[in-house]
Amino acid sequence: MQGIWDPAAEAIPTAAYWDGMDWEYPTYVGYMIHVMQGYQSTMIRWANERPMVTQKSANATIGRIGKLAQHVALGSRCWAAGAACAPTWPLVDAQQRPGANPQRSMNHTCYSVETEGFSKDPIDYGYDYIYSAANPWPTALIDRVVSHGVWFFQQTGLEADPLRIIGHGATDTCTRSDDPGSAFPMVEVQERIAAGVSGSSSGPVTPPPGSSSIDEQLAALAHEDALQAARLDDHDVAFEVINERLARPLAR
């Protein structure tokens, strides 16, 4: 498994990564979700740096409007997870625990997804709002975290167990204990990814305007309407509904 890119993502490769997997850890162990404490545009700018200046990256980033960008292919390691520090996650390998081996960070076993926004006041720079009960995580962003997670587990063959779907805080309670934050709907995300992998419906994921090709939008509309028509068990209705939707103008 190497060099695999999610076809639903915009590929924006970064120079800040390690090619391939570590020979001691040839496979992933979990799907790790982070909050950027910033904006996706910043991480995309870092990914485009040549030569590399910012030594930070993620396998993928997801914006508030649901934009999915992949920066490091499945089968290689990004620079997002860092070292384990007082971890609570039982799947942290002995060689990755504090003091065991400084060269064995969590990047060697976790696929990292950075999500746009803030879980706390960054103090040193401006922000618009912090995720909370009053300002919940955007639906489009959560949908993308789920759909990309389903893709990850389908590609790796790992069981989509809640134990394997974690926040950064599970491996670093010292400096990342609130990553991605208490307002993040972790249980919902875990359940929806597991349902998606097992074949159950996790709800339609609507791509944001301009984030997919016309063919992809047509396919998404056709798939959604086919499902709705199938529930009615009426093939004539399915044909009429699909054609009516495909005739609509699409966002360009």
| Residue 84 within a domain | yes
| pLDDT of res. 218 | 53
Mean pLDDT of 147-155: 98
Mean pLDDT of 48-56: 98
Mean pLDDT of 128-150: 98
Its pTM stands at 0.79
Enter the DSSP assignment of 87: -
Residues 219 and 128 in one domain: no
| pLDDT of res. 103 | 86
Mean pLDDT of 106-124: 97
Residues 146 and 225 in one domain: no
DSSP assignment of 106-166: GGGTEEEEEESB-SS--SSS--S---SSSSPPPHHHHHHHHHHHHHHHHHH-----GGGEE
* Position with higher pLDDT, 101 vs 223: 101
| Residue 74 within a domain | yes
- Assigned token pair, 3: 């060099």
Residues 106 and 221 in one domain: no
Average pLDDT across the chain, whole number: 86
Enter the DSSP assignment of 207: P
Q: In terms of residue numbers, what domain contains 180?
A: 10-198
| pLDDT of res. 102 | 84
Number of separate domains in the chain: 2
